[in-house]
Structure 1
Amino acid sequence: MDYYIRQGDRLLTACRPVMSQLARETGCDVLLASMYGESILAVHQEPNADGGTLAFGRGRPMPLFRGGGSKVIIASLSAAKHKRLYQDHAAEIAESGLGASWKEFRGQMLQIQRDGHVLSVGELDPNAAGAAVLVSSGSLAEPSAMIVVTTKARFALIDKALLIEMMKTAARQTTIASSREDLLSLQYL
């Protein structure tokens, strides 16, 4: 079943070469995470050259309100979905530092939308750090995030502005390739 999902998912097909190149260029692990209901799950992983182990690699659900990938994905949702999430998870949201009130939470989500990325240090793994950007999923219903992860020590040495620009370019390339896959599949209908 997993094989068929990986072969049939247009976003996964489109992201593989782009993520592989990004992993080579940065020397970091690169993940694609998507939202399924109220779960965030890494659906693809391109490992870095040294093959380190990630606390939340492919197939392991991530916390809903911690980590760059989860925050970018949650921020991309509508105000109505934010309100529902806040009503259902207010204590968890406050604990994660995303706001002690609805107004603060909504403000944080809008700020992430404006920034277009999230930097995360030690939120999911005390020794790891990374960055996440939104991947526009075209015709797909649920949002996705591209996440770059490395050690905290290595992350401290990385030019964050350059990394974010590389990631945003990779996300755009993935969106374009995914849209092409959508158009190609329509030709055969």
Structure 2
Amino acid sequence: MTEPKNTLERVLAVLEVFTEERLEWTGEELMEELGYSRPTLYRYLKTLKDAGFLISRPNAGFTLGPKVVEMDYLMRKSDPLILAGHDYLTQLAQRFSCTALLVRWYGNRLLCVDSVSSTTNPISSYPRGRPMPLGRGAISRSILAFLPKRRLLPLITNSLDDFKAVGLGESIDDVLQTLKSVRKAGYATAYGEVTPGVVGIAAPVFDAGRTPVGSICITIKGSLVSGTLIDEISGYVRQAAVEITGSITRDRDIHNLTL
């Protein structure tokens, strides 16, 4: 973890330690993990508890609080990616027996923010809210392929073992060549890299500055698809990504004109 530099960063660092692997922390454990003094830590914990970001139980530890759920509800109603993309998820799920997902790219993380499924028992290793791996899957490659090289190289270096494991190359140059092919095609395909037996087909969504902000993806059982159907699905996914990008860009332009 990068050493926090100011009070706000230090408070946010308390929230950052909560992960799927570690959902509860005691005060003593937080002091050891973060290196804060007892008075400082408990001042931050009180602030976060009063705001609803944390809750605590007697003789137990701290966990995330209801404010997180409240903000999630507000995000669903305000995130431009969700607002522009939800109808496309519905259309894709109606056309194919699949799960259609919107994934947002923030910091160096991939997070599913919306999904629609037309299967009775959807198979997904990464439901809404669970961070996805950078070195595996169509969603990751659909975004990484469009990042500037100066930002991309550290990410490849950190996830090179994952790229090797799924056969994308033994070196950074090999992975760059693979991503170049994705960039040329405008979409990425992966077979069982994230969820066994599932094919992923994803295309990037951009902001007005042509920076990838997310991805739209279809995941479908490998037994249901052939090469021809994958080509058909990829066309619909790419078109949806283009139209979502256009909607986000138009909304931003309209907003700027009204300021």
Q: Same fold (TM over 0.5)?
A: yes
Counterpart residue number, 2:162: 92
Would the alpha carbon gap of residues 137 and 161 (structure 1) be closer, same or farther in structure 2, given more than 3 Å must change? same
1:39 aligns with 2:109: yes
Amino acid at match of 2:231: A
Residue number among 232, 235, 245 corresponding to 1:165 in the alignment: 235
Residue number among 129, 149, 160 corresponding to 1:79 in the alignment: 149
1:27 aligns with 2:97: yes
Which region of structure 1 is more displaced relative to structure 2, 86-95 or 51-60? 86-95
* Superposed displacement of residue 96, structure 1: 3.3
Would the alpha carbon gap of residues 49 and 90 (structure 1) be closer, same or farther in structure 2, given more than 3 Å must change? closer
* Superposed displacement of residue 140, structure 1: 8.2
Counterpart residue number, 1:118: 188
Identity of aligned residues (%): 25
Matched residue SS, 1:131: strand
Structure 2: tracts of 5 or more residues without a match: 1-70
* Superposed displacement of residue 183, structure 1: 2.7
Amino acid at match of 1:153: S
Counterpart residue number, 2:136: 66
1:177 aligns with 2:247: yes
Mapped contact 2:200–2:219 kept (Cα < 8 A): yes
Matched residue SS, 1:21: helix
Alignment size in residue pairs: 189
Mapped contact 2:206–2:212 kept (Cα < 8 A): no
* Superposed displacement of residue 141, structure 1: 5.4
Q: Which structure exhibits the higher relative contact order, with contacts defined as CA atoms closer than 8 Å and separated by 6 or more residues?
A: 1
Would the alpha carbon gap of residues 92 and 149 (structure 1) be closer, same or farther in structure 2, given more than 3 Å must change? closer
1:138-153 equivalences in 2 (<5 Å): 138-139=208-209, 142-153=212-223
Counterpart residue number, 1:57: 127
* Superposed displacement of residue 119, structure 1: 1.5
Would the alpha carbon gap of residues 87 and 152 (structure 1) be closer, same or farther in structure 2, given more than 3 Å must change? closer
Counterpart residue number, 2:72: 2
Counterpart residue number, 1:130: 200
Mapped contact 2:204–2:212 kept (Cα < 8 A): no
| Separation (CA, whole Å) in 2 of partners of 1:89 and 1:130 | 19
Structure with the greater alpha carbon radius of gyration:
2
Residue deviations 1:114-156 (CA, integer Å, cap 9, x gap): 1211111111111321211111233585531111011121134
Residue number among 172, 176, 181 corresponding to 1:106 in the alignment: 176
* Superposed displacement of residue 33, structure 1: 1.1
Amino acid at match of 1:47: S
Matched residue SS, 1:159: helix
State the TM-score, normalizing by the size of structure 1. Answer: 0.89
Mapped contact 1:76–1:143 kept (Cα < 8 A): no
Would the alpha carbon gap of residues 34 and 113 (structure 1) be closer, same or farther in structure 2, given more than 3 Å must change? same
Mapped contact 1:18–1:173 kept (Cα < 8 A): no
Would the alpha carbon gap of residues 86 and 170 (structure 1) be closer, same or farther in structure 2, given more than 3 Å must change? closer
State the TM-score, normalizing by the size of structure 2. Answer: 0.66
Matched residue SS, 2:84: helix
